[in-house]
Structure 1
Amino acid sequence: MTDASSARPRAETFEHAGATVELVDAVTLLAAARVNPVEPLRRADWPSPVHRVDLVVDGTGGSEHVFTARITTVPSATATRKMMRGFVLNIDPLGPILAKRIADGDQVVTRLVDGVGIAAAAAYRKLGLEKPVEPSLLADASAGIEASVSYDGTVATLESRVARDDVGPAHLRAFVTLLLQAVTEIAGPASLAGRRFTVSRDNLPRTAPTTQDVTLDMVGGLADVVAELRQIAVSFRHPEAMARWGARRPQGILMYGPPGTGKTMLSRALANEIGAEFREIRTPEILDKWLGGSEKNLKEIFRAARRYKTPTLILFDEFDSIVSYAGAGGDAASQALNAVAGIFKQEMNDLIEENPNVIVVATTNFPHRVDESLIRSGRFDVKISVPRPDDVTRAEIFRKMIRGLIGVHEKPGFRMFADDLDLAVLGTASGGMTGADIKEVLRRVQLAKAMEDAGGRTVTPISQQDLLSAVEGLRGSS
C-alpha cells in the first residue's frame, strides 16, 4: 500500500497566538490545488468582529500557487456608534460642547448627535470621502513568504504567491500563521486563545453528519462538478461584486445523470455552501388529479418563493416526472402536462429579478424527457452532468467516506479501519457502482462488525478483505 492510497489522514499540529492549528495532509492539499482551487479552512469559529474567513489555495495558474484569504468583519454596535459620533464631535467649536453634554448624560443631545452622525457617515461614503486604509505587508522570513494586505470596507484580503516548483507545506503553514496574525490585529491579541482550527482538503465534521448537514467538502470525486458549484455559491454569497459588474448569477441549475450518482446530495451541499434554506419539491406536492389543481399548486409554490426573505434553494427532484412535456397531444392528460410545463416556464422567466434570494435546482435521471424550452438559458443557465464514477473517482469516494468515519468514530484505544486498505484496488473492484452503492458497502461492513461486537466476540478493524467481500456481496444481491 502506497502513501498516496492511504485512507488515514496525516496531520501536524502547531500553535499561534494561543490557538491550535491542525494541518492535515498538506502535500496532498497542495497537489489537489493544481487541479481545482481548494478551500481548506472552513467550519471555523472566529472572534468578533470577524464574521468569516475564506481561505483559497489555487495552483491552477500553472507557474504559481496563490494563497488568498478574505477576512470579513462586522463592526460592533459600539464601534459603529463611536465612528458616527466622530463625524459630529470633531467639528469646532460645537463639537467639544456637545461632547461634554453627552458625557454628562444628556440623552436628547446624544440622540441628536447619533442621528446627525448616521447621516454624515452615509454622505461621506456616498461621496467617497472616507479615508482609505493603506495596504500593508506581512511576512514570514523562515518560510520565505510575504502576504500583501489590502482593505475594501469591511473586508481585508491577504495574498501570497509561491512558485509552483518551490511550494511546500511550510508555505501553507506560514500563510495560515500570517492569516491568524491578521485576525489578532483586528480582534485583539488574546482573541484566538483556546480556539482550534483545522486546515484540510476535506474539512470533514467530527460528529456524524445528517443528510441535512452534507457539504461540498464531503463529496468524493466529481472535482469538476464540485468546482462549478463552488463558483455558483460564490456568486450567490457576493451580490455586491455581481452588482458592481452588472453580472447575473445563475437563476436555475439542471443536474442530470444516472440514479445514485449524488444529484440530490449535491443540491443539499450547494444550499449549505451558500448558507441557504433547503426546500425540496416532490411530485405529489404539484400533480393533482383534479382539473387545474396542478397548475394552482405550482403557482402557489412560486408565489411563496417570491416572498422568501432569506437565501433559499428550491429543489425540484425527479424533475421529469413533474413537468414532462407531452407535445401536441389532444387528450386531457397531455393538455394537463403541457399546462404545468407552461406555468413552470412563465414562473421561471423573472424569478431572479423579483427575488434574488432564490435559486432553483432541478434534477433528473432522464433529461431527454424534459422539453428543451423548459431548460433553456435564462431559465436554467447551468446544466451539469453527474456521471457514474470511474475507478479513480470511486477510490476518492471510498477515501472521503472512510476518512469521515475515522474522524467521527475512532477514539484512543479503538481503531475502526486496519492499515492494509488500498483505495485504488477498492476503486477498481467496485466497477460500475455509484456513491450510493459504496455507502451501502460500508454500511454492511459496519453492521457486520457491530453484530460481532454485540455478540461478545473479539472484533478486528475493518480490513481490505472485509471491504472487498462486501463489494462482491452487494454485486451479487443486485
Structure 2
Amino acid sequence: MSDASFARPRGESFEYAGATVELIEATTVLAAARVNPVDLLRHAVWPAPVRRVDLSVSSAERGADGPVHVFSAAVSTADEPLSKERIRALVLGNDPVGVLLAKRIEQGDPIATRIVDGVGAAAAAAYRKLGLDKPAQPVADRRAETIADAVVGLQAGVTYDESGTVVRLTAEVARDEVTPAHLQAFVGLTLQTVIELAGPDSIKGRRYVISREQLPQTPATTQTVTLDMVGGLTEVVAELRQIAVSFRHPEAMARWGARRPQGLLMYGPPGTGKTMLSRALANEIGADFREIRTPEILDKWLGGSERNIKQIFRDARRYRVPTLMLFDEFDSIVSYAGVGGDAASQALNAVAGIFKQEMNDLIEENPNVIVVATTNFPHRVDDSLIRSGRFDVKISVPKPDEASRAEIFRKMIQGLIGAHEQPGFTMFADDLNLQALAHASHGMTGADIKEVLRRVQLTKAMQDARTGGNVSPISQDELLASVRELLGPR
C-alpha cells in the first residue's frame, strides 16, 4: 500500500456495554492536543435523557509537575437554552401552517424566515420572562467524586453543575506518559456516566466514532459543513477561525477596545468553495445563515431595488441572534458602481450607494451581524464599496495546489466512507493513492473533484442496480479515469 493512501482513517474498535466504539488515530489526537484543544464526539446521538456529550483533549502546564494532557467531558441532560431550533419549534408547532412555514424556511424562503424569526424573538423574550428557559429535572444531587479505570489506572474527577443537569469528568495524565490507552479509558468512563443516567442497556447496539475530524453519519451538506471538513486552503481556514473567535468573544474585544471584522470579502475563481466557506464560518460561529440572492434586491420597477436593499439592512438591525449575511455573486448586485448612464446602471449605482451607507455603522447598531460577500470578479466591484471599515478582511480563495487537492480528495472520500460504508459494504478500495489523484487533477477546483466522485458513484450505483449487487469498491483506476474524463482532451 502506498504511503499516500490515507483516504480511510486508521482506527481501532472496541466494545463497551454493547456499543461499538471506533477510536480514530488516537496518537494524532494526542499530538494535536499539545498545541490546541481537540473536540471529539460532536455529532453523536445519545439515549434519553442525555442530550449532549462534549469530549475534548487539551494540554496544560502544572508547574513542578510539568505538562499534562487534560481529558474533559460534559454529559448534559438539558436542552440547549433557547437555541434557534427550540425557538422555531415553539413558534411553528405541528399544525398545517407550522409545517408549511417550516418547509419554506428549509427551502430558504426569506419572507417565511423573517416572519418566524420575528415571532421567535418575541417568544424567546416571553420564554425568559416566564422562567421557562431554566433547566429542569437535574441528573443528580450529589457531591464531587472520583471514578477510575482499573486497566490503565486512570482516575477522573466527577462534579455536577449548579443546575444539576450537567455531569463533568476531568482527568490528567503527564504528557510523557500519556498513551492512546488513556484516551480509550476516558471514553469508557464517559460512556459509563451516560449509562448511569440512561440505563444499563441504553447504548447497546449504538456506534460512536471518536475522531479529531468527526466522520458524518449522514452525507454532509452545505447546511452541515464545518471548517474541519474543508480540504486544503489552510491559510484561508486559519483566518476564518480567527474571525469566528473574535465574533464569539465580544467581551475580550470590548476589554481591549478592539472591533472584530464587520465585513468579509472572499474572491477567486468559480468552484473554489467561497459559498461553502461562508456556510462553514456561520457554523463555526454558531450563527444563523442568511443568503441574499440577486433577485431579492434588483427590481425592474423604479425605486424597487433601493427599497429592497434598505429592507434587507433594516431586518439585519433587528436580528437578536448571531447571523451571517451572505451576499453571493456580489458583483452582480453592485458591479461597476459609478459607470454608465442608462436606467440599469443608475439602479446599480443607487443600490451601491445605499449599501455603503448601511455598512458604515451596522456593527455598532447590531453586533450580532457579520456580512460576507463573495465574487468571482473582484475587479467589477468599486473599491469604495469594499474599503476597510466596511469590509475589513479580504481573502483570496485560489484554485487548490497539488497538496490541497490531495487533502480535498481525502476529506471528501472520508465523508463518503463515514456516511455510506457499513458492515459488509466497502465503498472505496484500500489502496487509493491520493498524491497520484492530486497530480492527475491539475487545475481542478473542489467543485470539480466533487464531480469526479459523483460520476464514479453514479457508475457504481448503476452497475449495482443492473447486477443486483456484487460490485467491487471504487478503485484508483476508476477515479483516475473519471478525472481524465472531466478534464477532457488537452
AA in 1 matched with 2:39: E
The alpha-carbon deviation at position 468 of structure 1 amounts to 0.6
Distance in structure 1 (CA, Å) of the matches to 2:52 and 2:251: 16
**Hey, what does 1:385 align to over in structure 2?**
396
Q: 1:98 maps to which residue?
A: none
8 Å CA contact 1:158, 1:179 repeated in 2: no
- Do the aligned partners of residues 17 and 470 (structure 1) sit closer, same or farther apart at CA in structure 2, a change above 3 Å counting? closer
Conserved 8 A contact 2:59-2:67: yes
**Alignment match, 2:303:** 292
Is the CA contact 2:73–2:190 (under 8 Å) kept in the aligned structure 1? no
- SS of match in other structure, 1:380: coil
Structure 1 residue 455 corresponds to structure 2 residue 466? yes
Name which of 273, 280, 289 aligns with 2:284: 273
Q: Which residue of structure 1 aligns with residue 24 of structure 2?
A: 24
Q: How many pairs were matched up?
A: 421
Q: How far apart in 2 are the matches of 1:406 and 1:71?
A: 28
- Structure 1, gaps ≥5 residues long: 77-117, 119-133
Contact 2:4 2:433 (8 Å CA) reproduced: no
AA partner of residue 466 (structure 1): E
Conservation of the 8 A alpha-carbon contact between 2:36 and 2:59: yes
Q: Distance in 2 between matches of 1:23 and 1:462?
A: 25
Mapped contact 1:445–1:467 kept (Cα < 8 A): yes
Q: Say if 1:13 and 1:22, in contact at 8 Å, map to a contact too.
A: yes
C-alpha displacement of 1:433: 0.8
Q: 1:467 aligns with which of 465, 475, 479?
A: 479
The change in CA–CA distance for 1:398 and 1:352 in structure 2 (over 3 A counts) is same
Q: Is 1:43 paired with 2:54? A: no
Looking at structure 2, the residues matched to 188 and 245 of structure 1 have their Cα atoms a distance apart, in angstroms, of 45
1:262 pairs, out of 240, 265, 273, with 273
- Return the alpha-carbon distance in structure 1 between the equivalents of residues 72 and 362 of structure 2: 33
Equivalent-residue separation in structure 2 for 1:389 and 1:43 (angstroms): 28
Displacement of 1:431? 1.3
One-letter amino acid of the counterpart of residue 481, structure 2:
S
1:366 and 2:355 equivalent? no
Distance change >3 Å, CA 254–CA 53, structure 1 → 2 = farther
Q: Which amino acid in structure 1 is aligned with residue 475 of structure 2? A: S
State the Cα distance separating 1:283 from its structure 2 match: 1.5
Find the aligned partners of 1:372 and 1:328 in 2 and give their Cα distance. 13
Counterpart of 2:320 (choices 309, 319, 332) is 309
Unaligned ranges ≥5, structure 2: 80-130, 132-142
1:219 matched residue in structure 2: 230
Give the corresponding residue for 1:105.
none
**137-146 vs 320-329, greater mean Cα deviation:** 137-146
Q: Which residue number in structure 1 is paired with residue 407 of structure 2?
A: 396
Alpha-carbon deviations, 1:180-230, whole Å to 9, x = none? 678889x69979855654221221211233333323333222233334334
CA contact (8 A) 2:291 2:326 kept: yes
* 1:113 paired residue number: none
Which residues of 2 match residues 75-224 of structure 1 at below 5 A?
Answer: 160=172, 163=175, 168-174=179-185, 176=187, 193-194=203-204, 197-224=208-235
For 2:488, the equivalent position in structure 1 comes to: 476
Cross-structure match for 1:93: none
- CA–CA separation in structure 2 for the residues paired with 1:159 and 1:347: 50
Report the identity percentage: 71
In the superposition, the TM-score normalised over structure 2's length comes to: 0.71
Distance 2:246 2:188 in 1: 28
Match of 2:90 in 1: none
- The answer (yes or no) to whether the contact 2:69–2:178 under 8 Å persists in 1 is no
Write the letter of the residue equivalent to 1:284. Answer: P
How far the C-alpha of 1:448 sits from its partner, in A, is: 1.6
Aligned residue for 2:39, secondary structure, equals coil
Alpha-carbon spacing, 1:377–1:48, altered in 2? closer, same or farther (3 Å): farther
Contact 2:11 2:25 in 1 (8 A): yes
SS in 1 for 2:386: coil
Structure 1 residues 129-171: Cα deviation after superposition (integer angstroms, max 9, x where no partner): xxxxx999988797687889999988969585754x7664334
Determine which structure has more spread, i.e. the larger CA radius of gyration.
1
